[in-house]
Amino acid sequence: MTKICKDKTGRDKRLHVFCEFVIAAVSGVSVSLLHVSAMVCAVIAFAVAIAAGIWKEVKDCRQEGNHFCVWDLAWDVVGSVAGGVFAFLASYYT
């Protein structure tokens, strides 16, 4: 039976939010240079950032002494949404 992670507010959660925000913002602004709609930029930014977060969690859970943490993914979603909103606004106003 797998253990359920209880680390909801660990020290690394802010880093998860920040990294996902940066990934989403950079990818969203990059996509906006293709002159697509602001909503498309936001969706692509969110998808790229959350895919990076899932990839990192899966990669980390295979390391010795590490585990798959759903709370890390929850904070990744927060950062990805914030980055997606940033990408939307950047695309809309440029």
Per-residue pLDDT of the chain (94 residues; tens, 9 = 90+): 456 677 777 778 899 999 999 999 999 999 999 989 999 999 999 999 999 999 998 898 888 877 888 888 999 999 999 999 999 999 999 8
For the CA atoms of 6, 25, 57, 11, the dihedral, rounded to the nearest 10 degrees, stands at -40
Q: Given this model, what pLDDT does residue 4 score? A: 63
Give helix 13-32 / helix 70-92 axis angle, nearest 10°: 30
DSSP annotation of 32 reads H
Q: Given this model, what pLDDT does residue 38 score? A: 95
Q: Given this model, what pLDDT does residue 68 score? A: 82
Helix, strand, coil percentages, rounded to 5, for the chain: 70, 0, 30
In single-letter form, the type of residue at position 72 comes to D
Q: Given this model, what pLDDT does residue 3 score? A: 62
